[in-house]
Structure 1
Amino acid sequence: MNAQEIIDLIRNGESSTTQFKPDVSNSESIAQEIVAFANSKGGKILVGVDDKTGNIAGVEFRDIQRINNLVATAANDHVKSPVYVQSETIQIENKRIILITVPEGTDKPHTDKDGLIFIKNGSDKRKVVSREELARLLQASGNLYAEERIIRNSSVEDVDWEKFREFYEKKYKESFEKESLERYLQNLRLMEDGKLNIAGALLFGRNPSKLIPSFYISAVWFRGTEITNQEYKSSENITGTADILYRKAFDFIFSKLNKIQADQPFNSLGIPEIPEIVLKELLVNAVIHRDYFISDSIKIFMFDDRIEIRNPGKLPNNLTIEQIRKGLRRSRNSTGFSVFVVFMLAEV
């Protein structure tokens, strides 16, 4: 960055990606700041700027090497896993500022030397204490997938083995041996130590609503164009395995769509106002790409003028609307899970 860009940055004040420090003298303290930036979206630390007033105090020439060595030691020895930070000295108004650039971490969650996890919270930082936040940090780095979480009160007895047999023989073109069911599931990463994970229950559970009661579809057909608490035309809570969720959700929507003439002859059958292929794609995406860390239902809201499908969770892994418009794609859940779901739904 050049001097003018630094001045503009200072004028805008501290934020979740920018921090000011008049000096750096404690490696443990700066390590926590590096951890917070690395666990968030990365950021810049300007050393030599008063964090209360934004005034440029500058750094003495004799302190430049000391600060750089201290920051490097903090990033390498007091941050786990280490983070590679860059520093440069920039002169502004005859004063020197050290610009430290911290990248977004690739091995989240990063911790300080005591194992504490920090993230940015506006211009400040805070400790991560909830399991949900920790899980999302692991998910963002690809070290944990929600659908691989183990269901502690499950066993191989909770598997619909006939459903699994049908899937296994169709996909792998080989005979299925019931006594090897647990081994098959473990090889496919659907079970561990005799316990199903969320993916296993969603795909082949005998009674998924018992094992994972929050993972269902809530479908409501409202009167008019707004949500009301008083009146609706139809409502249904859809439960079951992934293929059943998909099929029943499609039936709920499709049966209520208007069938339009669309320039056809008078005696022709009407065409659904929303093409079948569009509905199928939306519902497949809803099942595959929802956030399984969040215990909540997928919601389908039908109105006179539109259909809304609402998934638990935000866009995955820092994906933005602008990136989606440019064609960028990122998966929230594992590729293996997506393959299983797509294969099963293709059979519906």
Structure 2
Amino acid sequence: MNIERLMQRIRLGEDSTLELKQLVIRENGKSIEPHPDSLADELAALGNANGGMLILGIDDKTRAVTGIALEYLDRVEAWLTAICNDRIKPPLDVVTHHVELPDADGQLRPVIVAEVPQSLWVHQSGNGYFRRVGHAKRKLEPDVLARLFQQRSQARIIRFEEQPVFDAGYTDFDPLLVNRFTREDQDDAQIQLQRLHLLRKTDGGLRAGVAGVLLCTLTPHRWLRNAEIIAVAHDGLVNNPDDQVDAQEIRGPLDRQIWDAIHFVQRNMRTPARKVLGRIDYPQYDLAAVFEAVVNAVAHRDYSRDAQRIRLFMFSDRMEIYTPGALPNSMTIESMASISAPRNEVIASLFAQYYPVEEPLYGKNQLMDKRGAGVRMILKRSEALSGKRPLYENLGDMELKLTIFAAPPPERNAGWQAIPSSGMRIGNDD
């Protein structure tokens, strides 16, 4: 961080992207002023406008560096983080820096600089909806608020996956991931990525779109912290930590998340087998159906839901997959098997064109196809194996739950053993 440039901005005073705040700390750090709701309003106002910077430890009237006592620095940062998470909805992501700035006597004093990005969402703070105008916050009138929701795609005027991500650009893309979408004999790579809606032109320059972050960066959760799969395997029938045998936070570009989730299922799926006149396997799940279910969850989930992740739970008798978001485009549970209406059209289209599947076991040539037969396949193949039809449930228009039931093991007689799909033997011959 350029200290000279920072001091110059402080000397010139607050503007549409700079907020200065002096801190008053009392009762050994138990009481901090300004009031948390007041600071939440200022932070949300920056996020609802063009982003900006908050500096704690500066007198906003005299612009003097008053600093933060060193012993309270971590406590103040925790206080600031709690405000962003607990008093702003949805939570506001900020980047904090501990910096020493010279006061009027030249003595270095610690301050906290919080960088607030232009947010992908519209944020509500303790006293309502605010937006930064000039050097002050202004309460958003209903018509202005409605337009802001539309601009930020929460009204789905522009698909969320096409929205620009404020602090992500082409330089954040991994070259190997980009190669999948570009051709040397065509236009410049950045132009090609714009055509695919992975990059987007904005007033601030060329930004990565949400789909670009999800498909072309190695760490999408850096910008979209919900972009991951939580996978947990249990030995019993309920979600009991004492029965947990494996767990994994699955991150990375979306195609890698899909394959890592499938490997998690294979690693924890028991495959009983008979060894009479040759080996015969009896897998718990049809892997082609599981593969389709995971692809659907990743491709169709609502990535605008900041606090929700895909969750995959394995139990001894079933698998549960929770996908954030209500059913899109007026779909119902009953119509899912016959209607294809993707929420994320860019991701679904790219999955169908640029992601070949070379394993015949999964019964398809690309991660997705355009036939809209995925749900029917999940239902048919899973029921054929287990004898129970998978169950889709719409949980309060917040998430979609899919339950796939495990096939019962064969009767335990001569030559029977049980092994996980990895091949490690976990049972004894009778």
TM-score, normalised to structure 2, is 0.45
Match of residue 257, structure 2, among 210, 231, 245: 245
CA distance in 2, matches of 1:133, 1:304: 46
The answer for the alignment partner of 1:307 in structure 2 is 319
2:166 corresponds in structure 1 to 152
- Could you tell me which residue of structure 1 aligns to residue 349 of structure 2? 339
Q: CA deviation at 1:266?
A: 4.9
**Could you tell me how far apart the structure 2 residues matched to 1:184 and 1:166 are?**
11
1:185-225, Cα deviation, whole Å (9 max, x unpaired): 11211111211011011111143222222211110112311
Q: Secondary structure at the match of 1:322?
A: coil
1:283 match: secondary structure = helix
Q: 1:79-228 counterparts in 2 under 5 A?
A: 116=142, 131=149, 135-136=153-154, 138-139=155-156, 143-169=157-183, 175=185, 180-193=188-201, 194-228=206-240
**One-letter identity of the residue aligned with 1:155:** G
Q: Cα offset for 1:130?
A: 9.0
Q: Between Structure 1 and Structure 2, which shows a larger proportion of helix residues?
A: 1
Greater fraction strand: 2
- Once the two structures are superposed, what CA deviation does each residue of 1:21-55 show, in whole Å capped at 9, x if it has no partner? xxxxxxxxxxxxxxxxxxxxxxxxxxxxxxxxxxx
- Structure 1 stretches (4+) deviating beyond 6 angstroms? 127-130
Change (3 A) 1:226 1:132: farther
- CA separation in 1, counterparts of 2:170 and 2:252? 17
* Contact 2:226–2:303, Cα closer than 8 Å, also in 1: no
Q: Percent identity?
A: 25
Deviation at 1:320? 1.5
2:191 is paired with a residue whose SS is: helix
User: What stretches of structure 2 of length at least 5 have no aligned partner?
Assistant: 1-140, 359-430
Whichever residue aligns with residue 249 of structure 1, its letter is A
Inter-partner Cα distance in structure 1 for 2:290 and 2:153 = 31
Secondary structure of 2:182's partner?
helix
- Listed as ranges, the gaps of 5+ residues in structure 1 are 1-114, 118-126
One-letter identity of the residue aligned with 1:147 = E
Deviation at 1:319, TM superposition (A): 1.5
Q: TM-score, normalised by structure 1?
A: 0.55
Letter of the structure 1 residue corresponding to residue 179 of structure 2: R
Shift of 1:337: 2.1
Instruction: Give the CA deviation at 1:283.
Output: 1.0
Q: CA RMSD in A?
A: 3.0
The yes-or-no answer on 1:316 pairing with 2:328 is yes
Give the aligned residue type for 2:350: F
